[in-house]
Amino acid sequence: MISTLFLRPLWAALLTLAACSAPDRAENPDTTKATRATRPAAPEVPAIPPLRTDTAGQAWVEQTLAQFTLRQRVAQLVFPWISGRADPAEQQRMLQWVSRDQVGGLIVSTGTPAALASKLNAAQMRAGVPLLIVSDLETGPGMRLNPGGTRMPPAMAFGAAGDTALARQAGRATGAEARAVGIHLTLGPVLDVNSNPANPIINVRSFGESPEAVARLGAAWLQGARESGLLSVGKHFPGHGDTHVDSHVGLPQISGDSARLDRVELAAFRGALHAGMDGVLVGHIAAVGIEGPNAPPASLSPRMIGILRGPMQFRGIVFTDALNMGGVTRRYSVTEASILALLAGADALLQPPGHPQVIDGIVAAVESGRIPRARIDEAARRVLTAKAAAGLHRGGARVDPAAVAGSVATEAHREVARTVAARSITLARDRDGAVPLRRDARVLHVTYADGNGSAGGVLQRELAAGGVRAEHVRVGPGTPASTFASLRSRAAAADVVIASIAIAPFQYRSLGVSGGTPAFVEALAASGKPVIAVSLGSPYLLDAFPSVPAYLLAWDAGAAAEAAAAHALLGTAPITGRLPVSLPPHHRIGEGIDRRPE
């Protein structure tokens, strides 16, 4: 039985969470208790409905649906993957999917803004019914409009800055650039509460480990996106933050019972749904604490999607996570997973390999009576309603190629990215007062990265521009011991060693510092050498070198983040960020040292 805790009003739940979560900013312990005790209850705020459209849009949905055959209705639920590159052979395949298979939309990956706009315009010209174009834009439009779009810091940087206005501005900028190239819906914000430091895939993709902060920042981000006309689909329901397995590889499990899920994981989703989020992406995550040891992926679970549709009263569109991921393919065929997802209550099937055969299989399941025809009609109606909510019924599917260049990577959007990066810089510790650097200091700068050849480059350049002369050396997991032997002698001659570490979550790749770097950094710190560790990604690095006397977090290896880290080290910019996660056993959530330019 689902706990009655699922039925609590949103604001009561969030107030409870706020009382037990660390604040976004460090508070005076003598006044915090009194403030919380006397704070009035927040008023109940009417929820904003998802997929808002006008009367003409509703009429278009019903008229279009009435004209579809069963196969056309099923095809509307399918969203194959395409790259954003200008690839003639791939474009021909895409046009076949549109004209022959009549898919409902596409999920698009990386390409330049001009290439993406051209490719998507070609697809829309071929489509009888406008296509709903979907993309992952977690780190802003630059995640897919690459090169050429604005890259935003990851969600955890927004958590460190703690400013909903910045989250809203970032959502607005992302929406503007996405719509300029023909993207209508983003699979974001990430609403996972990253309460598990060992999580291999969420990490800085999350706003943090406070459910209230994740809800608040996620709601602000999607409000900004909506202001630019971009639909939002939060993920990964019911929560991927407290897992130990990457769902690209296998089936992660969440072990919390319904009370725990309601208190932590679902609180973030409730906040975003209340703010009018249009859709939810259901992850390939087994809720074993609720459904037992043989729990199916939530994406295929009537009980888990039923929580969305029942107690959470969500009426928007439900996407599966990508159906080529190990979380489903290790246990099910793609067609069977698609059928089970629809029976569970999903509306849109993301990235199913061999989608023509998947469509055939679903049609056969309807004709045999396994899937009720009404379930297909309900799902197709939601997909069409999403298209109407994006304004596609008014002829807005194609974009103006001439307007693209002036709409992406604008100075205003880049300034948002720079501001977030600067406000997010967090100084977790500085035992010897090494930050800011002395201009005359002899500095050895060692950058560790796994596959990112440019990491640390902007940091090094900005330090030099600020008057700090630093020798820069790159290392990685495979760096030989002889290199570290040489580095030890060079470190002995330096006044300060900066160890910048660029590690970020990526599918099929483990998180963590490996090879000889941890021992090298830890030995330097243990010897008393001033060492400043700078995280350009994952915050969970201190277990690799717990003795470092200074630890600065920049959350990302993008240009804006590295420049902000350099300015903090130089003392030319304030440091005001707070940890949005705990770093056990070293630091608690909410910690952070303020530094102001002298």
Residue-wise pLDDT for 70-116, tens only, equals 999 999 999 999 999 999 999 999 999 999 999 999 999 999 999 99
Quick one: which of 161, 162, 142 has its CA closest to 152?
Answer: 142
The residues facing 231 across adjacent strands are: 185
**Bigger pLDDT: 443 vs 22:** 443
- Position 175 scores a pLDDT of 98
Q: Helix (H) and strand (E) counts for the chain?
A: 23, 15
Mean pLDDT, residues 398-404: 97
Distance CA 403, CA 24 (A): 40
| C-alpha dihedral sign at 225, 231, 234, 235 | negative
Q: Report pLDDT digits (tens) over 537-562.
A: 999 999 999 999 999 999 999 999 99
CB 143 within 8 A of CB 406: no
Q: How far apart are CA 430 and CA 473, in angstroms?
A: 23
* Region 144-152 average pLDDT: 95
pLDDT value, residue 507? 53
Instruction: Give the side-chain half-sphere CA count within 13 A for 6.
Output: 19
| pLDDT tens-digit series, residues 314-343 | 999 999 999 999 999 999 999 999 999 999
pLDDT in tens, 205-247: 999 999 999 999 999 999 999 999 999 999 999 999 988 777 7
- Reported confidence tier of residue 33, pLDDT bands at 50, 70, 90: very low
| Placement of tokens 């056993």 in the chain | 585
Share of the chain above pLDDT 90, in %: 86
Mean pLDDT computed over 408-427? 98
Query: Has residue 20 got a pLDDT over 70?
Result: no
**pLDDT score for 509:** 59
Given a cut of 50, is residue 360 above it in pLDDT? yes
User: What band does 395 get if pLDDT is binned at 50, 70 and 90?
Assistant: confident
- Residue 13: pLDDT over 80: no
Please say whether the beta carbons of 237 and 270 come within 8 A: no
Q: 104 in helix, strand or coil? A: coil
Cα separation, 430 vs 249, in Å, equals 38
Q: Is the pLDDT of residue 29 over 50?
A: no
Res 47: pLDDT: 75
Work out the end-to-end distance of the chain between its first and last CA atoms, rounded to an integer number of angstroms. 60
What is the pLDDT at residue 322?
96
Tell me the pTM. 0.90
pLDDT band at 2 (very low <50, low <70, confident <90, very high): very low
pLDDT of residue 243: 85
Q: What is the DSSP letter of 497?
A: E
Find the mean pLDDT for residues 179-200.
95
**SS3 of 583, please?**
strand
Closest CA to 392 of 182, 580, 248: 182
Using one digit for the tens of pLDDT, what is the confidence trace for 462-483? Answer: 999 999 999 999 999 999 999 9
Say what the pLDDT of residue 6 is. Answer: 32
Residue 294 has pLDDT above 50, yes or no: yes
CA dihedral in degrees (549, 554, 555, 556; nearest 10)?
A: -130
Q: Is the pLDDT at 435 greater than 80, yes or no?
A: yes
Residues 147-156, mean pLDDT to the nearest whole number: 97
| Phi, psi (degrees; rounded to nearest 5) at 444 | -105, 120
Tell whether omega for the bond before 49 is within 30 degrees of 0, i.e. cis: no
Alpha carbon distance 327, 351 (integer Å): 14
Rounded Cα–Cα distance for residues 51 and 64 (Å):
17
CA distance 238 to 220: 20
Rounded CA-CA distance 18/263 in Å is: 11
Inter-CA distances, 531 with 64, 215, 525, Å: 64, 36, 6
pLDDT of amino acid 453? 80
Q: Looking at residue 510, what is its pLDDT? A: 62
Q: Which stretch of DSSP H or E encloses residue 349?
A: strand 349-350
Q: Average pLDDT over the chain, rounded to whole? A: 91
As a whole number, mean pLDDT of residues 524-531 equals 96
SS3 call for 297: strand
* Rounded alpha-carbon distances, angstroms, from residue 75 to 102, 103, 242, 337, 569: 6, 5, 35, 16, 54
Cα separation, 177 vs 173, in Å, equals: 6
